[in-house]
Amino acid sequence: MGFKCGIIGLPNVGKSTLFNALTAAKAEVANYPFTTINPNLGIVEVPDQRLYKIAELIKPQRVVPAILEFVDIAGLVRNASKGEGLGNQFLSHIRNVDAIAHVVRCFKKTDVPHVEGELNPKRDIEIVNLELILADLATIEKRIEKLNRLAKIGDKKAKGNLEHITILKTYLEQGRSLISCMSQIDEKTTYLIREFQFLTAKPVMYVANIDEAEITEDNECVKEVKKIAKNEGAVMVKICGKLEAELAELPSEERQEFLENLGLKETSLSKFIREGYKILSLISFFTTTGPEVRAWTIKKGTKAPQAAGKIHSDMEKGFIRAEIIKYEDLIREGSIQACKEKGLVRIEGKDYEIQDGDIVYFRFNV
């Protein structure tokens, strides 16, 4: 697995269109609110040209890229936490995602009504962010009720957790997302954040959904979203969802030519992957064992035994060493054998941190 991303936003901002562009799936799309009732799920391959260049040299029977999962849920509206629209009932479907893609409408199409009546990215972002905060507050309040009951009968662990979770409640009541408070949160409180999968503690990627005519220049709405993202320490990607959905329909051989004609260098999926990996501090390493070449996704700073554990738990338990070839060395020399002959295969132990692009062979014994 690469990473799992939840797609959120107001109704009619282009979430399902974007989902189709990213996954080449067929989520229902229409110009009225709440088209998406059940969450749309899509799994896509992570585009990494390094994987295929390795395969050209190794010539395996099978090439296995890392994958990315998208979850597209119903649009949120003002007062969703109070039951407006479809309420926030679908937020549970994105509690276990790694990151959130917040789609913001920056296109002016009059035939697609805006749920708030007029285009205003700042207001739209505030509405959705407030609903996420209120959803996290509801989760905390339920937990506090349970902890209070346990604390009254002398449960010491409950008393400690109550103190830490009350700190989180205070931040949320101030209108702050938990991710913005992480530098002020101790290790125990951070553990509770992971345990309860709070929505506002997840990294956010803002997606400015634009008109086809504004691909090369930023309109005022895009500039506003970019400013908000910068202030929050988040990232922003500008995408024309409609155009990318049409692009996804094309055969792969025509896709690049179409992109070049539009003056674009990459698809929206590539932008998503790159920025998603960045905000989650993810890297890729490769294995060439047996009949396949495969890409694996890990957190930056992961040590060799734990990286081996991504492949199989036995490999982590019985880890002996890792044999490392740098991607650049393999491409330059043309084969693994040539790298061996030139002394470019390094032997690393359990303290080695796997680097992005490493080609790894793990030695282990169970």
Other Cβ atoms less than 10 A from the Cβ of 112: the count is 14
Contacts of 88-94 with C-beta under 8 Å, sequence gap 24+, read 88/131, 88/134, 88/135, 90/39, 91/132, 91/135, 91/199, 93/6, 93/39, 94/6, 94/8, 94/199
81 neighbors 314 (Cβ within 8 angstroms): no
Residue 15, marked binder: yes
Residue 17, marked binder: yes
Residue 83, marked binder: no
Encoded tokens for 208: 């400015």
DSSP 171-217: HHHTT--GGGGGGG--HHHHHHHHHHT-GGGS-EEEEEE--GGGSSS
What 3-state DSSP class applies to 138?
Answer: helix
Q: CA 301 to CA 315: how far, in whole Å?
A: 18
Residue 79, marked binder: no
Residue 97, marked binder: no
Length of the chain measured in residues: 366
Q: CA 270 to CA 43: how far, in whole Å?
A: 14
Residue 160, marked binder: no
Q: CA 140 to CA 216: how far, in whole Å?
A: 44
Q: CA 56 to CA 73: how far, in whole Å?
A: 39
Q: In 39-186, where does DSSP find H-type helix?
A: 49-58, 121-152, 156-173
Q: Which residues are annotated as a binding site for ATP?
A: 12-17
Q: Which residues are annotated as a binding site?
A: 12-17
